Amino acid sequence: MKGIRILFIVTTLLLSGLSYAQTETPVEEPSLDSGTINSQFEYIYIKSGNYRADGKRYEVVRTLNLDKLRQNVVDTINEANKKAHELQGIINGNESTIVALNSKLDETTKNLAAVTDEKDSMSLLGASVSKGTYNFILWTIILGLFLLLLLFIFKFRQSNVLTQEAKTNLSDLETEYEDHRRRALEREQRISRQLQDEINKYRKSK
């Protein structure tokens, strides 16, 4: 009974192993018609024979397989070179694009700087000056004109005061002159009357 049980377990394990082997993905066999160069060298190694001579091991490879492998290696190298040339062309094109973009960027930067300078500058008497200098000159002129206006107002008021004083002095002088002329006329009239009275007295005395 114990032997039958052991036989059943061994049979089950074998069937399980066989089922797993059938469902496992088959490994691709090395070939000279497909696969990588490494797998093709593996194929050559598998298909080659060997012998020993003078205590050394030698591999015997079919010339047809070796030529096929060499052609595959040459084709792979040519394909790699072709891709390298294509990549180099792409790199050169990208470098040309980068150079063109850098040139456009420099031009745009210069134009932006020129526009910024033009925006930050003003034209004064045909000369281009910065806004700060323009504002300084403008406010200096305004301040100078304002000071000249204040000086003009001060001089005008001072002149007006002097004119009023001159007019007042002239009026006083005219009044004084009129008073003097009136007193002189009265004195002259009085002297004339006195003289006439003396003449009249003299005539009566005769």
pLDDT at 128: 66
Q: Which residue has the higher pLDDT, 89 or 116?
A: 89
Token code pair at residue 200: 């009249």
Q: Which residues contact 65 (CB under 8 A, 6 or more apart)?
A: 32, 43, 44, 47
Residue 23 has pLDDT above 50, yes or no: no
| Rounded-to-integer distance, Cα 95 and Cα 102, Å | 10
| DSSP of 185-196 | HHHHHHHHHHHH
Backbone angles phi, psi at 90, to 5 degrees: -65, -40
Determine how many CB atoms are found less than 10 A away from the CB of residue 41: 15
Distance CA 195, CA 4 (A): 198
pLDDT of residue 150: 94
Strands 56-60 and 49-53: antiparallel
pLDDT digit string (tens) for 153-172? 999 998 888 888 888 888 88
CB 137 within 8 A of CB 125: no
Contact criterion met (CB below 8 Å) for 30 and 43: yes
Q: Model confidence over 29-86: pLDDT tens digits?
A: 677 777 787 887 888 778 777 767 777 777 777 778 778 878 888 888 898 899 999 9
Residue 131 scores a pLDDT above 80: no
| Statement: residue 144 has pLDDT above 90 | yes
Tokens read off for 72: 């595959």
Instruction: Give the range among 108-122, 129-143, 191-205 with minimum mean pLDDT.
Output: 108-122
pLDDT of residue 127: 66
pLDDT at 10 over 70: no
